[in-house]
Chains A and B, each alone.
Chain A
Amino acid sequence: MPDASGRAATQNPAPAGPSAPVGVAVVGRAGVPAVAGAAPRGLWGAAPQGVRRALWVLPPVAVLALVFLYPLALVVQQSFTPENGGGAFDAYASVFASASFREALGTTVWLAVGATAGCLLLGFTLALIIAFVPFPGAKAVARFIDVFLSFPSFLITLALLFIYGTVGMANGVWTDLFGVAEGPFRFLTTPWGVLLAEITYFTPFVMRPLLAAFSQLDTAQLEVAAGLGARPARIVRQVILPESLPALAAGGSLVLVMCLNEFGIVLFTGAKDVTTLPMLIYGKAILESDYAAACVVAVVNIAISVGLFGLYRVVGKRAGA
């Protein structure tokens, strides 16, 4: 019988006893030798199987509860207990009624959706080129994608500042070329600058699962499709894209959730007029010391993220991902 991990069980479940064949070597499908009749002995000795499992689960659950769930619960609790008294939902009513919250929510959503769409488009195109268009250094580029994932988001923003910032390279070249006092590149402090930075930073998060999916794709399918008369565009549209949808969905949903919660990029672009939910939380908590309102916005942010994750799981299951 397969165990929970899907592998064939390799140990004889029969308890040790006079009737059990003792010392008979059994090799399961996984090739792991076991001794029939020998009772499994682990860290928890001869405790019943259910208890043993519970004991194994307990430590990670305790750590998780202590370092993650408890602080989260405190945030939720704070959102229902305004410091200046009042009803449990007063802070929610006040935040939801404020124009700044609605604006931040709108900005957060459109930036996240826009960045995700941009990442999907750019990531799919770049991954296609790396995976299917042979060029020298393709492997090195693919490895660099992995390294890129480890970069902090503000670093990318900082790099963009060097290029497109008010006193950045692009404006410097422009002023040198045309002898004017100021260059035209000022978009970095607008929502478009944030969008560019988010697309630049998060695109590799889409590419990584796509490259993995492309490496699993049977190249014979692409060859047969070409042999049947399909041009490259049709092969991409009808063969590669449908088969990489689960990877696209995984990368896209990850980017969407990360963009919803992105703080460093918005902060480093210096876009004062761009207020997203995380920026609003920062402003309420640190600048205004309105912790209840900050917690309300945080709860909304968490609810959106968890909701999107749930939606992704449901859609993913239906799509067979």
Chain B
Amino acid sequence: MSGIRFDSVSVAYNGTTVLDSLDLTVEPGEVMALLGPSGSGKTTALRAVAGFVRPLSGRVLIGGRDVTALPPHKRGIGMVVQQYALFPHMRVEENVAFGLRAQKAPRAEIPARVAEALEMTGMGAYAKRYPRELSGGQQQRVAIARALAIRPGVLLLDEPLSALDAQLRSGMLTELARLHRELPEVSILYVTHDQVEALTLADRIAVMDRARLQDCGTPQQLYRAPRTEFTASFVGNANLLPVTVADGGAVFAGRPLALDPGRAAPGSTATLCVRPHLLGLGEGPNALRGTIAEVQWRGSTHRLYVDVDGHRVKADLPELRETPALGDEVTLHFEPRDAVLLSAGVSHA
């Protein structure tokens, strides 16, 4: 079983730092999602593991072995990329056999291992086809089979579902989760900008922004108790409101709110984080009164945008029978346990 360790890894292109002192460990058999917007450094981190970029400083370890100076072909990793990167002149079975031949697997073993990888990804019936004869989803399955055929200790997935439509993406997410259950020994580094993919698949999520690691934890930890404003807004699109910490709560726009202030000192400024779907419409604890700025119908839910004392608050509510009109005065509320207070010091690590 192989894990991955980034030991203060920095990467720069032409003097611009694109990955800044990354310290991160992916435990053997763990699925770690690198989540962040474009330019956050997540793909660079993955490419450093693959050996396609040489760190300016720091070390990359796979299975405890320092691979920083090793060329890609000596690292023994499987890789799946956004655009599949199948070899168009090879049939599906030849694509899957490519890595086995490159690693000089015994010739007699190759057909069985190709068949096994294709069966695992549900592509056994397509062995003789060319990539151009397959759909996007099928091509991605072949790419996964090709990566798994070499039985890698580490599997790198670089935005593997981005090129698929929403329905296929959902199906492939289920497939990837199943594959990981079947191959618990494989450590997976999964790069994505899609929080749903990260929350669904990952054992832990490393949130990245501006070349730095911002936060790392289980999906539940990051969602329910984010440590930074960036994590709170990027994972779950939380409402962030400036408050002043008080005894037993906080004060927002002169109104007291009841919540757990944690270790924040009374009188200090902080940011209140509350998820849109944890807000209720109508009177209740921690009421926020404001004016409807926009109403969006999203099928099973309504999203309300409410201006509260100069701050735009988002609320996701089960489909309303009577939707408020623009300009209506409404009251939102939330339970004290549903809010998190982010101290000013960790607003953007």
Contact = CB atoms under 8 A, between A and B. Distances in A.
Interface of A: 218, 220-221, 223-231, 234, 238-239, 242-243
Nearest to B80: A224
Interface residues of B, number: 30
Contacts of A228: 73, 78-79, 98-99, 102-103, 146-147, 150
B79 A229 contact: no
A230 B87 CA distance: 13
A225 B83 CA distance: 14
A221 B99 contact: no
Nearest to B86: A221
B52 A223 contact: yes
A243 B102 CA distance: 18
Contacts of A226: 51-52, 71-73
B103 A229 contact: yes
B32 to A, nearest CB: 18
Nearest to A230: B102
A218 B81 CA distance: 11
A119 to B, nearest CB: 23
7 contacts: A221-B86, A226-B73, A227-B156, A228-B146, A229-B103, A230-B98, A231-B102
Contacts of A231: 73, 102
Contacts of A221: 85-87
Given A220-B81, A220-B83, A224-B81, A229 B76 contact: yes
A225 B74 CA distance: 12
Given A218-B85, A223-B85, A224-B81, A229 B71 contact: no
B2 to A, nearest CB: 14
B100 to A, nearest CB: 8
A242 B89 contact: yes
Given A227-B73, A228-B150, A231-B73, 10 more contacts: A224-B80, A225-B98, A226-B73, A227-B77, A228-B73, A228-B79, A228-B103, A229-B102, A230-B73, A230-B98
Contacts of A223: 50, 52, 72, 79, 81, 85
Nearest to A219: B85
A243 B103 CA distance: 22
B286 to A, nearest CB: 49
A234 B101 CA distance: 10
A239 B146 CA distance: 15
Interface in B147-162: 147, 150, 156
Interface of B: 50-52, 71-83, 85-89, 98-99, 102-103, 143, 146-147, 150, 156
A235 to B, nearest CB: 9
Contacts of A220: 81-83, 85
A230 B74 CA distance: 9
Contacts of A242: 87, 89
Contacts of A225: 87, 98, 102
Contacts of A239: 87
A224 B83 CA distance: 11
A218 B50 contact: no
A14 B144 CA distance: 50
B81 A229 contact: no
Contacts of B89: 242-243
Nearest to B77: A227
Contacts of A234: 102
A227 B78 contact: yes
Contacts of B78: 227-228
Contacts of A218: 83, 85
A221 B95 CA distance: 11
B79 A243 contact: no
A238 B80 CA distance: 19
* Top-10 shortest CB links A-B: A228-B99, A220-B85, A230-B102, A226-B72, A229-B102, A229-B103, A227-B79, A242-B89, A221-B85, A224-B85
Nearest to B158: A220
A234 B97 CA distance: 14
A164 B51 CA distance: 46
Contacts of A238: 87, 98
A30 B50 CA distance: 40
A62 B99 CA distance: 57
B83 A227 contact: no
A224 B99 CA distance: 9
Nearest to A243: B89
A231 B81 CA distance: 19
Most buried by A among B50, B75, B89, B150: B89
Contacts of B72: 223, 226-227
A225 to B, nearest CB: 7
A315 to B, nearest CB: 16
A243 B132 CA distance: 14
Nearest to A220: B85
B328 to A, nearest CB: 39
A226 B85 CA distance: 12
Contacts of B71: 226
Contacts of A227: 50-51, 72-73, 75, 77-79, 156
A221 B51 CA distance: 15
Contacts of B79: 223-224, 227-228
Contacts of B146: 224, 228
Contacts of B73: 226-231
Contacts of B81: 220, 223-224
B14 to A, nearest CB: 13
